[in-house]
Chains A and B, each alone.
Chain A
Amino acid sequence: MAVTLPHASVSSAPSMSEVLPSALGGWRPLAWLGYIAVLVAAPLVFDSGASISFLSQLGCLIVFGLSFNMLLGQGGMLSFGHAVYSGLGGYVAVHVMNASAAAGSGLYVPLVLIPVVGGVAGLFFGVVLGYVPTKKAGTTFAMITMGMGELVYAFTQLFPRFFGGESGITTSRSYGSGFLGFSFGPQIQVYYLIVVWLVVCTVAMYAFTQTPLGRIANAVRDNAERAEFIGYDTRKVRYLLLIISTFFAGISGALAAINFEIVGAESVSAAHSGNGLLFTFIGGVGSFVGPILGAVAGGFLTTKLSDYTMAWQLYLGVFFILFVMYAPGGLAAIFSANWRVLRAGLFARVLPQWLSVVAASAVMLAGSIVVVELSYALAFGAQKAAAAQFLASLTPFWNAALWALGIGLLAAGGFWLMKSRKAFRNQWEQVQADMAHGSQQAPGGLA
C-alpha cells in the first residue's frame, strides 16, 4: 500500500510543464532573481551560528529534493533508494578531501570542486546500480530501488575501511590554500559555497526540463506505451533520467559532506531516501519548485521542530498524510492555485470562505498541538524537549485545564472546518470555472 499510495497521487498532480510557466507567466525572471536574493540574504537575517548551519543543511536538502523529483515528478519513477547516490557521492567526496589534505597522496582537488567529485561518483553509481531497476517502471521499479538501498546499506557495515562502520568517515574542509582568499573554515563561507552550487544545480536541472529528453521523460511518465510508439525506448529514457538525477544527488551528498565534515551510514539509509520522498511530496511533485518548498518545510519539521518538541516525527507523518489525502499537488500547487486566483483578480470572491477555512484549520491545529504535547508529556515526563519540560512542570489544575482547552479547540476547529469546507469548495470551484471560461473565450473569440 505504501508503494501505490504516493504513486497513484502522482498521476493526479498537475504536469510540471504546465504549472510553472502558466502560473508564473512573465514573472519567471523575477522568480529566479527572488530565489537568488533570498539565498544570498538569508544568513544576513538569520545570522546565528546555528541558523547558518541550518541554512547550509537546507541548501543540501534542496539539491537532493530537486534531483529526487527529477525521477518522481518528471519521469514518474518512485525511488526508495535515492539516498544511495547522494550518500555514496558523499563518501567518495570525503575520501578525496582526505587524500587532498594528506601530503604526498598525489591527489589534490580544491574544495570548491569537491561537489563535482561527488556528482561524478553519484553518476558512476547511477550507471552501475541504475541499470537493473530502470528495466522496470512503476511499482516494480520502486521495489528494486528499495532492495538496492538495503544492499548498499549492508555494504556500509561490510566494508568498514571505506565506509567507516558505525561512526562514519570524518574529514576537514579547511585544507589546501583556499580559494580567492576563502579558507571555508567559517560556516558562513561554506554556506555561500553551497549556495553557488545550489544555484548552478537549480539552473541546470530546470534547463533539463526544457530539453527533448526532459520532455520525453514526461511523455514516458504519462504513457510509456505511447512513448514506445513514437520511437522511444522507454527503458533507455528511464536509465538516462536516473543517471542524470544521480549526478545531482551526488553533488548534494558532497555538499553535505563539506557541511558536516562527516559521512556516515545513515546518509545512504532508507530513512534518508524516505525523507527525500516525504519532503518532495509535501512541497509538490508536480512542479519544479515543489522540492525547494518541500526541503524548506521538511528541514524545519525535522531539524528545528525537534528543538522544541519530541513529537516532531508525529507532526511530519501527519503532515505527509494530510498532503497525500487533501493536497496531492503539495505546497506548490496550493500556492500556484491561490496565485492564479489572485492574478485573475477574483480573490475577493473567495476571501470570506478562504479566511473561514484557514481560521478553522488554525484553531484545529492549535487544539491538536496542545493535545499531542500533553500526551507526550504524560508519556515521557520532563525529558529533553522544551515543550514537554514546560508541560510536565504544570500543576494538576492547569494541566486539566489545558487538556480541556486542547480538546475543546480540536472539536470546535474540526466542527467549524467541516461546516466551512463545503462552502469554500463550492465558491472555489465557481471561481475556477469562471476563470477557465474566461481563458477559453479569448482564443475562441479570435476564431
Chain B
Amino acid sequence: MKTNCSEVFALELRDVRKNFGKSEIIRGACLQIPKGERFAVIGPNGAGKTTLFNLISGRFALSSGEILLNGTSTQGLKSFEINRQGLSRSFQITNIFHRLSVYENLRCAVLWSLGYRYSFWNRLNQLRDARERADAILEQTGLTARRHTLAGALPYAEQRALEIGITVAGGAEVILLDEPTAGMSRSESDAAVELIRKVTAGKTLLMVEHDMGVVFGLADKIAVVVYGEVIACDTPERVRSNRAVQEAYLGSHVSDDTKQEQAA
C-alpha cells in the first residue's frame, strides 16, 4: 500500500486498537480511504468488522490509535458530533424510527443538516427545504408510494432502503453501510446495489458486506479484516489473487468462482 504523506484521506485509521476487558478485538487496524472511493470491508464472522464501524462512528471509544475524518481526529467526539462532521452510518440490524411515517423518518434525518437543530419556533410543514429534500430521498429510494406508511409496517427490503435513505439524507460525505443487503433475496439485493450506487455517487463509501456479488459489483477497493487487523487492502482483482487472503478467507469463494467459470 503506498502512502502519500500530504494527501488528506476522507477516512484514515491509524493503528486502531480496541479491547473489551482482556480480549483485544481490534489489533492495530490501519486503513486509508481517499475521497470519493468505494471500499468494501470483508472478513470472516467475528473478525471485528462491525466493531470497526462502531469505533469509526463513535459508538465505542478507541483503546488506542487514531481515526481521522477528513484529516481531523475524531478523538473524544460523540457519535452525533461525528455525524455533524460529515459521517453517517447504517446498521446491521434495521435501525429506523418505527412509529413515524416513512416521510417523517426522512424529514427527521435532514433537519440537523439544514440547520433547524432544536428549533421549536419553526413549523415543520412550512420548512420547504426539509420537505423538498425528504421528497428527493423518497424518490431516490423508490419509497414515494410508501410516504405515509408507518416505517415499522414496511416490508423488510423497504425498511433497508429507508435505512439507507436516512443514512444519506443528511448529506454526509462519508457513508458507512453495515451489511446493507443482509437477508435479501437476489433481486432485492440487486436493487439495493443499484440504490447504493445511486445515492453514494461522488461520496466516500465504506461497506461491510458478505455477499461477494455485491462486493465485486460495487467496490473500488476491498479491505480484508481478519482477527482485528486489515490484512490486505487492494482492488478486487488483486485481493482475489492475494495468497494470504485466499488462505485466510476468500479461498472457498475463489474456487467456487473458478469452478463456475470452467463450467461456463
Contacts and interface: CB of A to CB of B under 8 A. Distances in A.
A231 B170 contact: yes
A186 B24 CA distance: 75
Contacts of B107: 215
A225 interface: yes
Interface residues of A, number: 38
A236 B120 CA distance: 13
Interface in B25-83: 57, 59, 78-80, 83
B8 to A, nearest CB: 23
B108 A216 contact: yes
Contacts of B3: none
B80 A231 contact: yes
A443 interface: yes
Contacts of B123: 207, 210-211
B95, B99, B105, B145: residue with the most chain A Cβ atoms closer than 10 Å: B99
Interface stretch (A13-21, A150-158, A424-432): A13-21
A443 B95 contact: no
A244 B121 CA distance: 12
Chain A contact residues, majority secondary structure: helix
Contacts of B88: 229-230
Contact of B95 (A18, A207, A223, A234): A223
Contact of B99 (A18, A208, A231): A18
Interface string A202-214: 0000011011111
A439 to B, nearest CB: 9
A242 B188 CA distance: 43
A219 B100 contact: yes
Contacts of A223: 95-98
Interface stretch (B110-118, B192-200, B211-219): B110-118
Contact of A212 (B57, B83, B124): B124
B97 A211 contact: no
Contacts of A444: 145
Interface residues of B, number: 44
Among A213, A219, A221, A231, chain B packs the most CB atoms within 10 A around the CB of A231
B3 to A, nearest CB: 30
A226 B166 contact: yes
Contacts of A237: 118
A353 to B, nearest CB: 25
B83 A216 contact: no
Contact of B170 (A210, A216, A221, A230): A230
A211 B78 contact: no
Contacts of A218: 97, 99-100, 104, 108
Contact of B111 (A18, A216, A225): A216
A447 interface: yes
A230 B166 contact: yes
A228 interface: yes
Given A230-B83, A444-B145, A211 B122 contact: yes
B116 A232 contact: no
B95 A240 contact: no
A218 B98 CA distance: 10
A226 B97 contact: yes
B69 to A, nearest CB: 14
A222 B80 contact: no
A18 B95 CA distance: 20
A233 interface: yes
B202 to A, nearest CB: 21
Nearest to B117: A212
A45 B120 CA distance: 38
B136 interface: no
A222 B98 contact: yes
Contacts of A447: 145
B100 A211 contact: no
Contacts of A215: 100, 104, 107-108, 111, 124
Interface of B: 57, 59, 78-80, 83-84, 88-89, 91, 95-101, 104-105, 107-109, 111-113, 116-125, 127, 145, 147-148, 150, 166-167, 169-170
6 contacts: A15-B100, A17-B104, A213-B119, A216-B111, A223-B95, A228-B78
